[in-house]
Structure 1
Amino acid sequence: MTEQGEGFLPEGLPDGGRRRRRKSRLPGCLAALVALAVVVGGLYWGGTKTVGWLEDRLGGGADYAGPGRGSVSVEVKSGDTATDICRTLAAEDVVASVDACISAANANPDSTGIQVGFYDLKKQMKAADAIDVLVDPANLVADKVTIPEGLTVEQIVAILAEKTNFKKAAFDKVLANPGDLDLPAYANGDPEGYLFPSTYSFGPKATPLEMLQAMVERWRQAADDAGLEQAAKKLGYTPAELMTVASLVQAEGRGSDMPKIARVIYNRVETTGAPTYGLLQIDATINYALKRSLVAVPSTDDLDVDSPYNTYRNAGLPPGPIEAPGDDALQAAANPAAGDWLFYVTVNLATGETKFTADYDQFLTYKQELQQYCATQSDRC
């Protein structure tokens, strides 16, 4: 039986089902205050321990006496602030509180230079001791791998396999699916030349895919710094061709001579008549075609190798890079020196002294100079 009059509709009841309102023995306002007091009291009783724990973990300045126990790996990520780092340390129970950690960081002037990466710390360390570990780059847990300029993909993979905990097959598996490497479209799925030479610090969780991706990303940075794509358009070449030129410059030159060598390469490609007929005649391309060290001196028979990389037989640029160029070679390819040179000869292999000319007879004179040098320095030739 329903009562016509004031009432309330509890959740879940249909519109037609009003329940009879029971009169409260306490006035409405007093009843509400009593109920509120009960709720607040319950929260206080049940929450004091939680609040206290949060203050211990996130604030309040609590600190462990140290020296700590066990081991925990902590990652400092790119963009982390001191507060971010301290929150990570508190969450891993390395430090007792964020406040104590921040105070320790503020007291250590080197804390602004904490490097990205992984660190081995202990649980329940004194905050100042934890910060001392983080400010020392020697404590970074990483595989440091240096990739020199001028190496092929095969040579780079050999170094990675030697310096990390992964075998060659693991890197070859990644390279079999080059679409995962984020190569530029103009690389046509070939990573040759795009694994940038540099020193890398790979964390303990880094995979072969992540390592190779990091190298391609570093190449992209260098290419952007050199203005590779803009320079290619200005010079009348494609970005892929500019990368090929950069790899040839890396193979042939050094230091301040690189922009001149880049100019010689462009001049020879663009000179379709005598005396070069558009032939680069670069020994390093022969060695690449023969899959051997790029510093070997080809024999007369080697010059007849049937390969699109044989620049003694095929005019113009080879199909792609023959090795990984570094910053200097990329900059040289993008910004060649001004000159009409068509030839160059390194006349002193010890100092790297290289002479340039546009005259073929002068070129022959420079070659004789090199031969005289080799006659007295046979161990260098």
Structure 2
Amino acid sequence: MADDFRDFFEERTQWTDPDAPKALESDAHILSDEEAPRSRREIRKSKERKRTRQLTRIVAIVLVVAVACSLAGFGYHRLTMWRDARERASETLTADYPGPGSGAVEFTVESGEGPAEIGDKLVKADVIKSQGAFTSAVAANNSTLYPGTYELKKHMASADVVAILSDQSKATGFLQVKAGERVSQVIADAAKLSGINADDFNAVINGGGAGILPAEAGGKFEGWFEPGTYNVKNHGSASDIIKTMVDKRVEKLDALGVPTGTDRQRLLIIASISESEVNSEEYYGKVVRVILNRMAKNMPLGMDSTVAYGLGVSADKLTDAMLNDASNPYNTRVNTGLPPTPISNPGESAIKAAMNPPEGDWLYFVTVNLTTGETKFAATEDEFWKLRDEYKNSNSNAN
């Protein structure tokens, strides 16, 4: 009752300033509600609302600060955990054994494998501790890793492994077929590196190539081995090794767009002669043009390289009797036309030259400098004899 009475009193009581000038009655009616004097109750409620708003703001600020601090603490904790995990991962990725290692591991680097791939294999073989340490060692030394089979140990230092894998003399089990090599040399190397008896290889070579050679080869393997690197140690038989080299050759010829059938065999014969006659690819195309020009005139090719191949010797071993032996089907000094087969396994450059030889009327060529391999070409016999004299003078001065 007292509170009701006080409220009643406060609602009807107005505070006035005794010193303030009295408002004219005529002005009283234009005062707005906000400008009108407020009661004590309204003033008290206004103060309470103001305190409530201030308290609300303080509580909100405290909550925001608390949440921010909590998030900052959580973020710092997560950042620390991430940093520590990253450092641990980095240490794991670049961990290395001190070496020198123990035991024996036979490890093979395949053709085309890169440092990262090789590093993964080394980790799985327990040769090194991490791929990262290995690839870093490769990069630091600017090393080239060669295909082959190597004798390593378990728990070796990565740098020591890189030193071995970048030393080609330590690689075994990989056959290098070089452009211009004869089948006989390739087979001898394959037998030695693979540990397979040479007789097994020769049986395949002399057996006609059924199921291995294309029909246009006529059962002869010469010219049908693709130059490159082959892991012969991991093959189970001589037949498998030979088939791999032939398959690679066919794949390369297809990729180069070499015509199939008899045209393919003919091109391989021409390319093999060109590569065997000169020692620089800059001359391959011109030698091909000489061969084509001579055939067009029904002239013997006159190539010592073919004569030597037919006799199983090198060109520097030829005698006059050998050069005049017409019974040798590869003697292009006496017989016209191309020899029966290629005389080596020509490389890509010689094959491309045989496909697109330059235009020219050359019928002769002479390597005038045996040291540099410089070769000159002539269209007439008179020019040819001048080149022969240049050859004799150059080599007599060299001696």
Task: Give the TM-score band, short-chain normalised.
Answer: 0.5 to 0.7
Secondary structure of 2:185 counterpart: helix
Cα separation, 1, equivalents of 2:370 and 2:172: 37
Cα separation, 2, equivalents of 1:142 and 1:113: 16
Contact 1:147 / 1:197 at 8 angstroms: preserved in 2? Answer: yes
Task: Name the counterpart of 1:370.
Answer: 388
Deviation at 1:202, TM superposition (A): 3.9
Aligned counterpart in structure 2 of residue 263 of structure 1, from 289, 292, 302: 289
Aligned counterpart in structure 1 of residue 269 of structure 2, from 228, 237, 244: 244
AA matched with 1:263: R
Task: Name the counterpart of 1:26.
Answer: none
Cα separation, 1, equivalents of 2:225 and 2:321: 32
Cα separation, 1, equivalents of 2:125 and 2:210: 33
Secondary structure of 1:366 counterpart: helix
AA matched with 1:309: Y
- Correspondence 1:69 to 2:102: yes
Secondary structure of 1:229 counterpart: coil
Deviation at 1:333, TM superposition (A): 1.0
- Correspondence 1:334 to 2:355: yes
Deviation at 1:345, TM superposition (A): 3.3
Task: Name the counterpart of 2:130.
Answer: 101
Cα separation, 1, equivalents of 2:345 and 2:137: 41
Deviation at 1:196, TM superposition (A): 3.9
- Correspondence 1:317 to 2:338: yes
Task: Name the counterpart of 2:161.
Answer: 133
Task: Name the counterpart of 1:122.
Answer: 153
Secondary structure of 2:312 counterpart: coil
Task: Name the counterpart of 1:24.
Answer: none
Deviation at 1:244, TM superposition (A): 0.4
Deviation at 1:69, TM superposition (A): 3.1
Secondary structure of 1:183 counterpart: coil
Task: Name the counterpart of 1:47.
Answer: none
Deviation at 1:239, TM superposition (A): 0.6
> TM-score when scaled to structure 1?
0.61
Cα separation, 1, equivalents of 2:137 and 2:393: 61
Task: Name the counterpart of 1:229.
Answer: 258
1:246 and 1:66, CA in 2 relative to 1: closer, same or farther beyond 3 A?
Answer: same
Task: Name the counterpart of 1:357.
Answer: 378
Contact 1:251 / 1:294 at 8 angstroms: preserved in 2? Answer: no
Map residues 1-381 of structure 1 onto 2, 5 A cutoff.
Answer: 67=99, 68-76=101-109, 88=121, 92-94=125-127, 101-102=130-131, 104=133, 110=139, 117-123=148-154, 125=155, 129-130=157-158, 133=161, 136-138=165-167, 141-143=171-173, 146-161=176-191, 165-177=195-207, 179=209, 182-198=212-228, 200=229, 202=231, 204-206=233-235, 208-217=238-247, 219-220=249-250, 222-224=252-254, 227=256, 229-230=258-259, 238-255=263-280, 256-271=282-297, 277-299=298-320, 302-359=323-380, 363-371=381-389, 373-374=391-392, 377=395
1:69 and 1:340, CA in 2 relative to 1: closer, same or farther beyond 3 A?
Answer: same
Deviation at 1:103, TM superposition (A): 5.1
Cα separation, 2, equivalents of 1:264 and 1:150: 19
Cα separation, 1, equivalents of 2:218 and 2:317: 28
Cα separation, 1, equivalents of 2:162 and 2:230: 16
Contact 1:287 / 1:298 at 8 angstroms: preserved in 2? Answer: no
Deviation at 1:194, TM superposition (A): 2.1
Query: Considering only aligned residues, what root-mean-square deviation do their CA atoms show, in Å?
Result: 4.3
Deviation at 1:122, TM superposition (A): 3.2
Contact 2:148 / 2:173 at 8 angstroms: preserved in 1? Answer: no
Unaligned runs of 5+ in 2: 1-90
1:379 and 1:164, CA in 2 relative to 1: closer, same or farther beyond 3 A?
Answer: farther
Cα separation, 2, equivalents of 1:217 and 1:83: 29
AA matched with 2:362: W
1:178 and 1:84, CA in 2 relative to 1: closer, same or farther beyond 3 A?
Answer: farther
Seq. identity, %: 30
Cα separation, 1, equivalents of 2:309 and 2:232: 33
Q: Which stretch of structure 1 is more off in the superposition, 317-326 or 148-157? A: 148-157
Contact 2:366 / 2:387 at 8 angstroms: preserved in 1? Answer: no
More helix by share: 2
Q: How many residues align?
A: 301
CA displacement 1:90-120 (0-9 Å, x = unmatched): 654556xxxx635545765639976655444
AA matched with 2:103: G
Deviation at 1:243, TM superposition (A): 0.3
Larger Rg: 2
Secondary structure of 1:259 counterpart: helix
> TM-score when scaled to structure 2?
0.59
1:252 and 1:286, CA in 2 relative to 1: closer, same or farther beyond 3 A?
Answer: same
